[in-house]
Amino acid sequence: MAHWASPSRTRLAVIRRYGIAALSVAVALGLALLVRRFEGMAVASFLMAIALTVWYAGRRAGFLAIVLSILSVDYFFLPPINHFTMNLSDLPYLAVFTSFGLVFSWFSASRRRTVQELRQVRTELEAKVAERTAELLRSEALLAEGERLTHTGTWAFNPATKEVIFSSAETYRLFGFEPEKGRPSFEEWAERVHPKDRERVLRDVVTGAVDYEVDFRTVLPDGAIRHIHGAGHPVFSASGDLVEFVGSAMDVTERKRTEEALRQTEYYLAEGERLTHTGSYAWNAESGLVYTSAELLRVFGFDPEKPAPPHPAFRQRVHPDDLAMFDALGEKSVREGADVDWVYRIVLPDGTLKYLHVVARPVFNASGEVVGNIGTTRDITERKLAEQDRERLHQAEADLAYISRVTTMGELTASLAHEIKQPMAAAVTNASACLRWLTRDHPDVEEAREAASRMVKDVTRAADIISRIRLLFKKGESQRELLDVNEVIREMIVLLHDEATRHLVSIQTELAEGLPRVKADRVLLQQVFMNLMLNGIEAMKDTSAAGELTIKSRRAEDGQLLISIGDTGAGLPAQQPDQIFDAFFTTKPQGTGMGLPISRSIVESHGGRLWATRNGARGATFQFTLPCEALAHQSA
């Protein structure tokens, strides 16, 4: 349709232009006929028609108007009137009309070019304005999005009128306003500032005339509190008068919360370091110490309120005997990238000696080279002193246990002498018999050999008893080995058999077979059995009936070995039976009250537990547990 409409519109435009020429000349002719007696006025009307045609219809229609005007003048105004003569009298009109048409055509063309150029300029200007407007709208949208993402609003304030003349959408949001409800007054803005911050903020905004930055809080209608970081800049007129303040407001609530959480974490870390006497540090091979915690400064005797001293100041406080190793480990950590785990000593200016435990790891750069290390240093002086005290206590306990053993063995001198006397006497008897068999007229070598064999057995038995006695008298460091508990029980029965017999006490055993071995000190374990068995024998020596000492061994439900030694004596004290394990508590006139406490200490040092129970009708049972070797391996 558009293809066929274009020629039609073109023809209509041509007809309209030439129609304007004909109509203009017709109107001019009418006017000329009305004023025909004024010849000049008639020419003027035709000139006006030519001018209008050239101005509105163009040059070609203007030529038509010139031709029509000359014909009209020739026909209606030049003699012979009402005839077309076309003689020389028409030339002046032709020259005037043509010249006027050409001049006016030039003016018209100039006007159209100017109009066209102005239209082109306007079009270009409108395009540029539209483009600039689009850019401004895009910039405004990006700015608004940037403000939304960064939670930063902008504003402008007139301090003279106390009017907020501009606020971005994000500023409205930060203060809890809705832009759709209109612009809030300055008082409404001020009311959203936290009461404790309001006076300070208004002083900077209203009365100040300099750049400022201020942190404050806003209280939203729902009671929520936001932390705001504000910045303002004064704008002055040419005469130096303050015109307005422009500024920004940034929501830093999350940053404040993060900072508070970080401060809380730092406090917990510092408090934890203070409570555990553990300091932390970071050391760089080129620049030295780059970080030291407050507790590290306190550990080394420096003031934590002052700047940290350089690395040499710390090194000067290392104990002279540990200084070489201190330097060697530091160099090794940098050279080989090795971890450091070491205990060394420092000496403070007042002579205080401290033990420090340092644990450090190397720090590598992007190329894998060691550039320093970070680590912790813990003050373990109290632990070291406690270990030394514990070692002295263990030595005192060992000495006390030794004295207890010696004292007990002294009390058993008669029984032990009788125990040794029996195999020695038997050995003498067998030696005499051997001599008799050999001194006969016909020596009976076979009988003499049997007598000699019996003598060897008796002497061996006596030697074993003496060895066991010597072992109990031995003083030295505790040496643990894998032991068969049943074997230890049998050894102690042999040693105490005569003492039990002397007090009419029989020893019964119920020893489970196939029990796992325990890792224990043989001498200390023998002392426990000796103390408990002698306590049972002494508890039954004053009873009217014969006593019975029962020793049992089995495996408990938890897998440990359970050993019990029961008697039929007087039993435990009626009041506070656990008191028997207290040091120096005894129910025997000649007792020291140390046997049971030492026995419990020995059992507990082996990972077991010792306790006592009543037997009901009479007597008491002492029981203790020992971890077997299989359980020890599982725990490890």
Examine the domain organization and report whether 515 and 583 are in the same domain: yes
Indicate whether 413 pLDDT > 80.
no
Largest CA distance in the chain: 216
Work out how many domains the chain is built from and give that number: 4
The DSSP secondary structure of 9-72, one letter per residue, reads HHHHHHHHHHHHHHHHHHHHHHHHHHTTTSHHHHHHHHHHHHHHHHHHH-HHHHHHHHHHHHHH
How does residue 550 score in pLDDT terms, banded at 50, 70 and 90?
Answer: very high
Q: For position 203, which CATH number holds?
A: 3.30.450.20
Q: Considering the domain boundaries, does residue 619 fall inside one?
A: yes
What CA–CA distance (Å, rounded) separates 585 from 613? 17
What is the predicted pLDDT for the residue at 243? 83
Tens of pLDDT, residue by residue over 224-276, are 898 989 888 888 888 888 888 888 888 888 888 888 888 888 888 888 878 88
Give the best-scoring range by mean pLDDT among 77-81, 83-87, 606-610: 606-610
3-state DSSP assignment of residue 591? coil
Residue 384 token pair: 């070291």
Residue 395 lies in a domain: no
The pLDDT score that the predictor gives to residue 551 is 93
Q: Which residues contact 292 (CB under 8 A, 6 or more apart)?
A: 279, 280, 281, 308
Answer whether residue 464 is part of any domain.
Answer: no
Contact 156, 244 (CB under 8 A): yes
What DSSP state is assigned to residue 239? T
Helix (H, G, I), strand (E, B), or coil: what is residue 201? helix
Q: Which stretch, 61-65, 151-155, 297-301, has highest mean pLDDT?
A: 297-301
How many angstroms separate the CA atoms of 183 and 166, rounded? Answer: 9
The Cα 42–Cα 29 span in angstroms is 8
Rounded Cα distance between 4 and 490, Å, is: 133
Rg, Å, the chain Cα set = 62
Residue 632, pLDDT above cutoff 50: no
Give a yes or no: residue 591 inside a domain. yes
Residue 285: exposure state from Cβ atoms within 10 A (0-12, 13-18, ≥19) = middle
pLDDT above 70 (res 631): no
Higher pLDDT, 216 or 502: 216
Domain co-membership, 282 together with 370: yes
Same domain, 108 and 174: no
Residues 551 and 636 in one domain: yes
Q: In which band, very low, low, confident or very high, does the pLDDT at 573 lie, cut at 50, 70 and 90?
A: confident
Please tell me whether residues 170 and 77 are part of one structural domain.
no
Report cis status (omega within 30 of 0) of the bond before 312: no
Which of 251, 281, 300 is the last residue in one of the domains?
A: 251
Q: Check residue 2 and give its pLDDT.
A: 44
Interior angle at CA 579, CA 575 and CA 583, nearest 5: 150
Residue 548 is assigned to a structural domain of this protein: yes
Candidate ranges 17-26, 60-69, 554-563; pick with highest mean pLDDT: 554-563
Residue finishing a domain among 234, 251, 268: 251
Lowest mean pLDDT of 93-107, 226-240, 275-289, 486-500, name the range: 93-107
pTM of the model: 0.44
Once rounded to an integer, what is the mean pLDDT over residues 547-557?
90
| pLDDT, average across residues 593-618 | 81
Cβ count within 10 A of residue 619 = 22
In order of 51, 137, 169, 171, 174, the CA distances from 148 in angstroms are: 64, 16, 9, 9, 10
Q: Which domain holds residue 241?
A: 151-251
Domain match, 242 and 327 both = no
Residues 85 and 189 occupy one common structural domain: no
Beta strand ranges found along 324-386 (DSSP E): 340-347, 353-364, 370-379
Q: Which two tokens stand for residue 544?
A: 């009217």
Do the domain assignments include residue 138?
Answer: no
- Residue predicted with more confidence, 111 or 259: 259
Listed in sequence order, the residues at least 6 apart from 430 whose beta carbon sits closer than 8 Å to its beta carbon are 451, 452, 454, 455, 458
CA-to-CA distance for 46 and 31, rounded, in angstroms?
9
Residues 486 and 619 in one domain: yes
Question: How confident is residue 46, by pLDDT bands cut at 50, 70 and 90?
Answer: confident
Structure confidence at residue 465 as a pLDDT band (50, 70, 90): low
- Do 497 and 617 lie in a common domain? yes
Q: Find all residues with CB under 8 Å of 566, minimum gap 6, and list them.
A: 536, 549, 550, 552, 615, 619, 620, 621, 622
Please tell me whether residues 243 and 293 are part of one structural domain.
Answer: no
Q: Which amino acid is at 563?
A: I
In a domain, 313, yes or no: yes
Whichever domain contains 592, its CATH number is 3.30.565.10
Identify whether residues 247 and 263 lie together within a single domain: no
Residue-level pLDDT at 561: 92
pLDDT mean over 33-50: 71
- Report the share of the chain in percent with pLDDT over 90: 5
Last residue of some domain: 344, 379, 414? Answer: 379
Closest CA to 378 of 423, 409, 349, 343: 343
Which strand ranges, in their side-by-side order, compose the sheet holding 278-284? 288-292, 278-284, 370-379, 353-364, 340-347
Q: How many residues belong to the chain? A: 636
Compute the half-sphere exposure of residue 420: CA atoms within 13 Å on the CB side of its CA. Answer: 13
Strand partners, 550: 508, 566
Q: What pLDDT does residue 624 have?
A: 92
Whether 313 and 373 share a structural domain: yes
- pLDDT tens by residue, 287-335: 778 888 888 888 889 988 888 888 888 888 899 998 888 888 888 877 8
From the list 260, 313, 312, 266, the residue with the least C-alpha distance to 293 is 266
* Residue 10 domain-assigned (yes or no): yes
pLDDT of residue 635: 42
